[in-house]
Amino acid sequence: MLNYRCSIFALVIYHYHCHNELSLFLLAFSNNAADCCLSTSDSFVPRRIVDSYIIQNIDSGCPIPATVFITKKNRKLCSPPANDLRYPWVMKLVEYIDNRNDKSKERPGEYDQACRLITPGFSV
């Protein structure tokens, strides 16, 4: 059970460090068309409801590029690509989420590859 928890923990840490690359990887190896946005909405998405986001590219097998915001209730909201200058709120929301995630990573202590906490002066 410890190895399973370690694997989940490692995946979560990796996701926060490399969320764009991981999201592209998951979308690229997905065979389910339901994983892709088929259209986007121009409607503003309030940041208070957003938990994370995924960048959808046509290179990942999806028909259109999009920014997929995932809400705290685990709903997926398909928005225009973050680099679309007609919708500057998308890039601002992406930057806000990135900054929020960067701050949440600033925790005391480090973890080695076996998911053991490494803290100076403390041994397991």
Query: Over its length of 124 residues, how does the chain's per-residue pLDDT go in tens digits?
Result: 445 444 544 544 454 555 445 444 444 454 545 589 999 999 999 999 999 999 999 998 999 999 999 999 999 999 999 999 999 999 999 999 999 988 877 655 555 555 554 555 544 4
State which residues form the domain around 86: 9-118
Specify if 124 maps to a domain: no
CA–CA distances in Å: residue 119 to residues 5, 8, 11: 20, 21, 21
Per the structure, the count of domains in the chain is 1
Global pTM value: 0.59
CATH number at residue 83: 2.40.50.40
99 within domain boundaries? yes
Token code pair at residue 103 = 């701050």
